[in-house]
Structure 1
Amino acid sequence: MTPPDERIWSLFKRHWQHTLTYWSVFFSFGLCIAFLGPTILDLRCQTQSTLQQITWVFFSQQFFLLVGSSLGGLFKKSLLSSLSALLCSTLVISIVFAVIPLCYHVVLLSVALAIAGLSMGVIDTIANRQLVKLYQKDSATFLQALHFFIGLGALVSPLVADPFLADDSCVLGANLTANSSSSSPDLEHLRSSLAGQGAVSGNISQYPLHTEGMVITRVSYAFWIMALINLPVPAAVLALMFHERLLFCPRSSPPLLDKNSSSRKSHSLDDEGHGSLFGCCHPAKIRGHPASFFLIHALGGAILFITDGIIGSYAGFVYTYAVSPPLLMGHKTAGCLDSIFWAAITIGRLASIYLSYKCSAPKLLTFSLVGVIVTQCLLMIFYTSCEFLFIGTCVLGLCISSVFPSVLAFTEDILEYKGCATTVLVTCASTGEMMLQLLTGIVIHSQGSYAFLLCCTVASFTSFCLFLLFLFARHIHTNLYTDPSEDTEMTEKPKTDSS
């Protein structure tokens, strides 16, 4: 029996080009998901719109990311269709980066970001699904690495944008004599509030920013640089298509799994599984599986709905909480919290690459979810401590970082890589990130900033309870129910590369 680390390395050497390509498209995803917050005020100046108008671009991107996550499951028939969708999506992201400086109206900017969000959703579903199909029972380690690249891209784009952001008001009034020294602190506070998509929590109309006058901004250079940084990604997808001879011989698509896998098995994976979200509800699929099969889908999706919602809510409102009573933290200090949180998530996913093949998925998820609960409870207990808010933010990011890839790999493993698990889970995660941010913002607006910690703590307990139900449903599915068609397929399954 080959040791786990040697088997993982052997699998990676066999599929290194596919793997690096899927990792690179998630870097593109991360680039696109993190640029909007830091640049939103400069884009407001560029479009000469109000703050209320410009915040709609957040919704535009998030909503179409959700739509793209569902539609990504449609590209499932062959490796050609999946890689073609990734090529188009990553190329569209570069084009959107290049076009954003030319969008001088908020409606045009919203359309551009909707197109980017659609591409991001397609990337999210396809890259996760292809890695799961490629590595199957060994996919957890590679999924952790995949999601590390989101964090890497999310760290790069703000660094690229920062030198080109306006220090003062970038739209001067008609008299061209804006008092930059007095407006700068408000702009810094406002930029940090908007960076986490938390504008709904406060009265943003209190900031008297000009919409008419001379526009002074250099943010266009940041977007053009990001467009160039992203261009190697579609080039990598194109190189993979050339390597697989899909550009000239589209009819002879090579098997995505290892050479020892039968063609019938590959056909089964493509035709039966990983379809669109709505294709999962087809009567022919429903009749062939026990109730536990769908319960596992529902519980896995609910866990990711809540945990990704916690990530979105915490990143969105931790700044608002820090600058409000009782902490009353300075704007510059509080502005570091969001960056620390995302850096901790990135580091946590890097560490989880090692942990995912040393620990089983249930153990890693139990440790992660309990860590999230304990951290949230301690944040509520020490709610007056600025120092502990920084410590808690870092620990929370480390604990919650591995949940999404671990749940995805664990669910697919339980369901024997059939059904629509990847599409359902990715879509639920995107929905939760959008909806829980909105709900948390409404609660904060009506009940005060402390409700932010309460919402996240309640969500943490709920996610752990759902995980316990998930383990119970897994026990029922694997021990009490038997699908004859699945048993037949399992007995015919060829040996894996573990020998």
Structure 2
Amino acid sequence: MRLLDERIWSLFKRHWQQTVTYWSVFFSFGLCIAFLGPTILDLSCQTQSTLQKITWVFFSQQFFLLVGSSMGGLCKKTLLSSLSALFSCTLIISLVFAIIPLCHHVVLLSVAMALAGQAMGVIDTVANLQLVKLYQKESAIFLQALHFFIGLGALVSPLVADPFLAEDNCGLGANWTANSSSSSDLEHLRNSLAGHGTVLHNISHYPLHTEGVNITRVSYAFWIMALINLPVPVAVFALMYHERLFPCFRKSPRLLDRDSLSSSAGDSGREHGSVFGCCNPAKLRGRPATFFILHALGGAIVFITDGIIGSYAGFIYTYAISPPLVMGHKTAGCLDSIFWASITAGRLSFIYLSYRYTAPMLLTFSLVGVILVQCLLLIFYTSCVFLFIGTCVLGLCISSVFPSMLAFTEDILDYKGCATTVLVTSASTGEMILQLLVGSVIHSQGSYAFLLCCTITSSIGFCLFLLLLYVQRIHRNCHTDSSKNTDMKEKAQTGGS
């Protein structure tokens, strides 16, 4: 056990600068993903647009995050192209933070958030891909830490924004009436918009007066976040300089040439090729059907679990203020923060658990825990106290599914790289699409359908995981048989010659 500790610590010390840089870019990702909900009403005043128009900014960010996740897979699997992409994207995020206060029209704001979303998607794919490439069989621990930094960034940005949010109507006009939005109305709207996405019909009936002079101070929050994020592209640039990736160092041997990534992870002599090398038609002819099924099952599982995270974060407030719970706005508004805090704490704890237990064990524990918690939430649906407890436990259980599934799937498929792109893109798609589906069901069937939808989808996810384990066994047997046949042919050829 102690030798394993020393080996993992030795791996980290050998690649600490690359690892910390990838962690920092995920902090940048978290900063960008969580600020929009709390600040959306102030941005509505800034752009003097209705809530129906301003919420399309959510869609713009989510859609281009999905586009960016797919684009990230197109980067060649070289350190230069990967770090160049990360440097550009983290710099774009700082620039977007800086220019958001200058966007006085909703179209300009949507374009800015589209750029940020695309940068976030590229970061999501490239950072996961490079960390898996760097550590391979030991990547589970470092992936858990990587995704912890998303939660850390997501906790920081609302804290930065909070002191600068308008406490009352942020549009100062001459035609104020008694119907103007009160402080409690604005708090209620912010909590309704606090998830990663919002279905338009949830807020269409709330009036918001934005005419007149804009008196919001939220610009300072965005400029502070731009400064907080600025060291991240600097860190990526420093890593590029350290690895001698600039033209002036091309003649000298790069550091990674002397210390290959494959051998550092205990898997020497393996060539990876391009990111989609495993999806090259010429290389797919000899692949068994299980190879494709494993990609599809892994993508489907994270599609569901990330969709549950997005749906729960987006609609738990709506569920809490509706009958039979009818919580107060302030109390219900704490649920989203508790959920994200428990996800962050869960990812921190799973860093250690990933070292002690295998990915299949962690995934089984997490997925069963998610189902049990949601079943209990359905049973005790009238208990406000249990809703807080269940929200906390659910965040702890579901927090590690994506990094564990990524490490497990790449390990099954022998670290070809394609699985990372498939899983990241599937997770982004699930987070966007399941929110829309759950929101539509809540609108037509009532708030109780929210928990029912999450329970059904999590049960489907666990069934898919059991199928994944079964297909993995078949895939391993096929791989073993093909290896034996290859060895026998080589021996026969050697004996014949």
TM-score by length of 1: 0.92
1:163 aligns with: 163
Q: Which residue in the other structure is 2:492 paired with?
A: none
Conservation of the 8 A alpha-carbon contact between 2:129 and 2:417: no
Name the count of aligned residue pairs. Answer: 483
| Distance in 1 separating the partners of 2:132 and 2:361 | 20
**Per-residue CA shift, 1:442-487, capped at 9, x if unaligned?**
0000000000000000011000000000001110111133485899
The Cα offsets for residues 31-58 of structure 1, whole Å up to 9 and x where unpaired, read as 0000000000000000000000000000
**Greater alpha carbon shift after TM alignment, 250-259 vs 161-170:** 250-259
* Aligned residues of 1:189 and 1:331 also touching (Cα < 8 A): yes
CA distance in 2, matches of 1:370, 1:257: 44
Q: Cα 1:98–1:486, aligned 2, differ >3 Å: closer, same or farther?
A: farther
- 2:226 aligned partner, one-letter code: A
Structure 2: state its 5+ residue gaps: 488-497
* Superposed counterparts of 1:180-259, under 5 Å: 183-197=182-196, 199-200=198-199, 202-247=201-246, 248-250=248-250, 253-255=254-256, 258-259=259-260
Deviations 1:291-322 (A, max 9, x none): 11111100000000000000000000000000
Asked if residue 432 in structure 1 is aligned to residue 430 in structure 2, the reply is: yes
**C-alpha contact 1:124 1:426 (8 A) present in aligned 2:** yes
Task: Measure how far apart 1:207 and its partner are.
Answer: 2.0
Report the CA distance shift for 1:421/1:203 in structure 2 as closer, same or farther (over 3 A): closer
Give the aligned residue type for 1:372: V
Q: Which amino acid aligns with 1:90?
A: T
SS in 1 for 2:182: helix
CA distance in 1: counterparts of 2:206 and 2:478, whole angstroms: 61
Q: What pairs with 1:464-483 in structure 2 (closer than 5 Å)? A: 464-482=462-480
| Contact residue 292 and residue 476 of structure 1 kept, 8 A | yes
Q: Give the distance between the partners of 1:487 and 1:174, measured in 2 at CA.
A: 84
SS of the residue corresponding to residue 404 of structure 1 reads: helix
Q: Deviations over 1:428-454 (max 9, x none)?
A: 000000000010000000000000000
Q: Partners of 1:203 and 1:71 in 2: how far apart? A: 32
Relative to structure 1, the CA distance from residue 334 to residue 91 in structure 2 (aligned partners, 3 Å threshold; closer, same or farther) is same
**Partner Cα separation in structure 1 for residue 380 and residue 413 of structure 2:** 42
Cα distance change on mapping 1:438 and 1:373 into 2, 3 Å: same
Seen in structure 2, the aligned counterparts of structure 1 residues 20 and 162 have a Cα distance that, compared at 3 Å, is same
Distance verdict in 2 for CA 1:303–1:351, change over 3 Å:
same
1:175-210 CA-partner distances (Å, limit 9, x unpaired): 356677x61111111110011146427542322212
Report the residue type matching 2:296 in the other structure.
A
The match for 1:326 among 316, 324, 331 is 324
Deviates more, 1:133-142 or 1:165-174: 165-174
Q: Is the 8 Å Cα contact of residues 256 and 266 (structure 1) preserved in structure 2?
A: no
Distance 1:420 1:463 in 2: 21
- The residue number in structure 1 matching 2:148 is 148
Mapping for residues 53-92 of structure 1, pairs under 5 Å: 53-92=53-92
- In the aligned structure 1, how far is the partner of 2:460 from the partner of 2:372? 13
1:312-351 equivalences under 5 Å are 312-351=310-349
Quote the residue 1:47 is aligned against: 47
CA distance in 2, matches of 1:125, 1:229: 23
Which deviations, in whole Å up to 9, do the C-alpha atoms of 1:329-370 show, x marking residues without a partner?
000000000000000000000000000010011111000000
Further displaced range: 255-264 or 45-54: 255-264
Asked if structure 1 preserves the Cα contact closer than 8 Å seen for 2:68 and 2:120, the reply is: yes
For structure 1, the 5+ residue unaligned runs are: 490-499
- Cα distance 1:484–1:354, how it changes in 2: closer, same or farther (>3 A)? same
2:271 aligned to which of 253, 268, 273: 268
Shift in CA distance, 314/197, structure 1 to aligned 2, threshold 3 Å: same
Compared CA separation, residues 260 and 113, structure 1 to 2 (3 A): closer
**Amino acid across the alignment from 2:211:** E
- The corresponding residue for 1:355 is 353
**1:68–1:120 contact (8 Å) kept in structure 2:** yes
| 1:18 aligned residue | 18
> Structure 1 CA distance, aligned partners of 2:76 and 2:219?
37
Once the two structures are overlaid, the 10-residue window that deviates more, 323-332 or 282-291, is 282-291
Q: Determine if the alignment matches structure 1 residue 37 to structure 2 residue 37.
A: yes
Question: Which of 270, 284, 297 is the equivalent residue of 1:299?
Answer: 297
1:143 offset after TM fit, Å? 0.1
Assess, with a 3 A threshold, how the Cα gap between structure 1 residues 2 and 446 changes in structure 2: closer, same or farther.
same
**Separation in structure 2 between the aligned mates of residue 128 and residue 266 of structure 1, nearest angstrom:** 22
| % identity of equivalent residues | 77
Question: Which sits farther off after the overlay, 459-468 or 167-176?
Answer: 167-176
Q: Secondary structure at the match of 1:205?
A: coil
Query: Is the 8 Å Cα contact of residues 134 and 257 (structure 1) preserved in structure 2?
Result: no
> What CA distance in whole angstroms lies between the structure 2 residues aligned with 1:27 and 1:460?
28
Cα distance in 2, alignment partners of residues 486 and 231 from structure 1:
53
The aligned amino acid for 1:118 is Q
Query: C-alpha separation between the residues in 2 aligned to 1:178 and 1:123?
Result: 47
Distance in 1 (alpha carbons) for counterparts of 2:376 and 2:38: 30
Tell me how far 1:286 sits from its aligned partner.
Answer: 2.2
Letter of the 1:103 partner, please give it: C
Measured after TM superposition, the shift of residue 214 of structure 1 is 1.6
Q: TM-score, normalised by structure 2?
A: 0.93
Instruction: Report what 1:138 is aligned to.
Output: 138
Which letter maps to 1:7?
A: R
| Residue number in structure 2 paired with 1:284 | 282
Checking the alignment, whether the CA contact within 8 Å between 1:198 and 1:317 is kept in structure 2 is no
Q: Indicate if the aligned counterparts of 1:30 and 1:150 stay in contact, CA closer than 8 A.
A: yes
Alignment CA distance shift 1:367-1:262 (3 Å): closer
Q: In structure 2, which of residues 365, 368, 382 is the aligned counterpart of residue 367 of structure 1?
A: 365
Q: Which letter does structure 2 place at the counterpart of 1:268?
A: E
Distance 1:433 1:41 in 2: 23
Contact 1:4 1:357 (8 Å CA) reproduced: no
CA RMSD of superposed structures (Å): 2.2
Partner of 1:168, secondary structure, is coil
**Do 2:321 and 2:332's aligned partners in 1 also have CA atoms closer than 8 Å?**
yes
Rounded to whole Å, the distance in 1 between the matches of 2:169 and 2:471 is: 56
Q: Which residue of 2 aligns with 1:388?
A: 386
SS in 2 for 1:416: coil
